[in-house]
Chain A
Amino acid sequence: MSNNAVSLYLDPQIRDWVLFPITLVMILVGILRHYVVILLQSPPKKLPRAAIREQRALVRSQILRTTSTNSPIPESFYKSISQNLSQAFEAGTYLKDGPPKADAPSTPPNPLSDPNAMDGMMAGMKTQMVMMVPQMIIMGWINFFFQGFVLIKLPFPLTLGFKSMLQRGIETPDMDVRWVSSLSWYFLNFFGLNGLYRLILGGDNAADASRDMASPFAAGVPQAPGQAQDYSKLLKAEKDNLELAEGLYSWVGKDVEQRVLRRYGKLPPS
């Protein structure tokens, strides 16, 4: 039976009125989506000074710690920086809202109550909606008008495994796998148009819908908004690291005399 698949004859009108329109509509929707996302994007929120200071406090001690086993600075300087940081971390000087009060509740703040986090989440939702709504409409359109259409014949043979991918919506066990149904053509476009968008719109466009499918809610939000960092805990933990690094401390200039003299042949090599 499968040999006579050649006998299937496609009306050229299907090509003109179904295959091309579906492709064209999907490309145009992708481009439209790109521009709508650009319109919807709100400029990144500016952090107040105190918040930046809080975020970067950890970096200070990390920089100090990275070189502590071979530190470029002498001991008294190292100790004073290290102890200053320890004290500041202990006292909470770097916290955005100032040192914590003794009777304050220690539960992490609810991310939904923080307006900044909410904004980030809303931005993610907005791009999601811009993607979902047109795709749902296109799929409904194809399902309604062109259900069961065979649109195109691939110019190369494929194994039976591709049947569910290429002939979605057509329940025939015997048709050659090379025929592609309308719904499958939609999916092929859905996942395959990214290269074309990159050509038309440049590298980081927002047109590609399949990217958002891969990681819902990650779109448009760089870090997970639900995870509010508890800096007071982080800084307390960093204090221990600082103490450890202070134990490992050694100045790079500790025995530099021997090193230099040996290199110039003034001292016998050890």
Chain B
Amino acid sequence: MDLPSALQKLSTFRARNTRASQETFDKGLVVLKGNGLKKLGDESWSFLEQLALAAIDVGRLDIADRCLQLLTDKFPGSPRLDCLHGIRKEVTESPAAVLLYYGKLLQADPVNVALWKRKISVLRRIGRIDEAVAELIELLDTFYTDVEGWLELVDMYCSVHQYISSLQSLSHVLLLAPQNPFHVLRFAETAYTAGDIPLAMKSFLNVIDMADADEDAPAEQVPSGFTIRAWFGIKQCACRLQRERITSPSQTAVPEHVQLFDELATERLKTVYAGRDKSDKEATEVLEWLARV
């Protein structure tokens, strides 16, 4: 592999924040060995950071240490490097030692968000979810606009089956990024899991509404990607709404025309799966299920 193409690829990885660690590491090694650091100029430092992270990811600590050494020589005392050193320590040292390291640094600089997040991730990793949640809530109380932070909180609540709290955090995500249908889908699925079927149904419909908003004749299109998931959700919700007496903890009104939606969802899902090969096991199973319920 030649140097220019490796550099090119690495810079796109950097720009897009891709975590393709093995590839980054292989290409980074080419650059490091091929004396590419001089060619990079000022960019070489962000390259070294990228390579260090990738090397830690793939377990080549010798390379990571070399990168960190180069960076430390250039920027002694940089808070961004403190974070990198912390990640390096997480590999080899005990969680308690790493937490101590992060705690000490955070005491000196309480607003270093990157360090704070590392600390929370360590807490989560060693199973101290309650502390992690408490810290994360404090972080989000200060830095409200951090969508990733909110999503992490959502995930943590889900992991301990606190679906109502999870929904509440997700509502903040929706406020911060109202244009993203994936978040709405997640909201719908979490609401379904929490047992709030009317809310889930409405949210699934919102996803469909967002996804087709700029299509002229959505009925003729075959649903794809996350809309298939949303149609499955609508189908499920419609089935349950017809069969059971459902109450909504969030006092969402039961959607109208449930019968119609049941038919519509079945029809949409059939358009997805009916066209597939007979040998496609997934498709036959789905079609059987649709015929059954």
Contacts and interface: CB of A to CB of B under 8 A. Distances in A.
B130 interface: no
Interface string A57-99: 0011001100100011111111011000000000000000000
A266 B261 CA distance: 9
B141 interface: yes
Contact of A56 (B142, B199, B206, B212): B142
Contacts of B256: 257-258
Given A64-B175, A265-B219, A266-B260, A76 B110 contact: no
Interface residues of A, number: 35
Nearest to B144: A60
Given A256-B202, A261-B264, A265-B219, A74 B175 contact: no
Contacts of B167: 77
B250 A59 contact: no
A71 B202 CA distance: 13
A260 B260 CA distance: 11
B275 to A, nearest CB: 18
Interface string B18-56: 000000000000000000000000000000000000000
A253 B219 contact: no
A15 interface: no
Contact of B143 (A52, A73, A80, A256): A52
A259 interface: yes
B250 A77 contact: yes
Contact of A263 (B176, B212, B257): B212
B178 A67 contact: yes
B250 A256 contact: no
Interface of B is mostly: helix
A252 to B, nearest CB: 6
B206 A252 contact: yes
Interface string A10-52: 0000000000000000000000000000000000001111001
A260 B145 contact: no
A71 B203 CA distance: 12
A145 interface: no
B4 interface: no
B100 interface: no
A253 B110 contact: no
Contacts of A252: 206, 209
B184 A72 contact: yes
A264 interface: yes
Contacts of B260: 261, 266-267
A217 B167 CA distance: 49
A266 B264 contact: yes
Contact of B261 (A47, A67, A257, A265): A257
Nearest to A63: B175
B174 interface: yes
B255 interface: yes
A180 B232 CA distance: 82
Interface string B132-147: 0000000001111100
Contact of B206 (A52, A81, A253): A253
Interface string A233-269: 0000000000000000000110011111101111100
Contact of B218 (A48, A71, A80, A264): A264
A253 B202 contact: yes
B185 to A, nearest CB: 12
Interface string B172-205: 1011101000001000000000000001001101
Nearest to A256: B205
Contacts of B175: 63-64, 67, 71-73, 81
A53 interface: yes
Most buried by A among B178, B261, B264: B178
A60 B218 CA distance: 36
B251 interface: yes
Contacts of A266: 257, 260, 263-264
Contacts of A73: 171, 174-175
30 contacts: A46-B109, A46-B111, A48-B110, A49-B110, A52-B142, A52-B143, A53-B141, A53-B142, A56-B142, A56-B143, A56-B145, A59-B144, A60-B144, A67-B178, A71-B175, A73-B171, A73-B174, A73-B175, A74-B199, A75-B251, A75-B252, A76-B252, A81-B171, A253-B203, A256-B206, A259-B209, A260-B205, A260-B208, A260-B209, A260-B264
Given A252-B206, A266-B263, 17 more contacts: A47-B111, A48-B111, A49-B111, A56-B143, A63-B145, A63-B176, A72-B178, A73-B175, A74-B171, A74-B199, A74-B250, A76-B251, A81-B175, A252-B209, A257-B257, A264-B219, A267-B260
> 6 shortest A-B CB distances, which residue pairs?
A72-B174, A73-B171, A253-B202, A77-B171, A72-B178, A256-B205
Interface of B: 109-111, 141-145, 167-168, 171-172, 174-176, 178, 184, 199, 202-203, 205-206, 208-209, 212, 218-219, 250-252, 255-257, 260-261, 263-264
Interface of A: 46-49, 52-53, 56, 59-60, 63-64, 67, 71-78, 80-81, 252-253, 256-261, 263-267
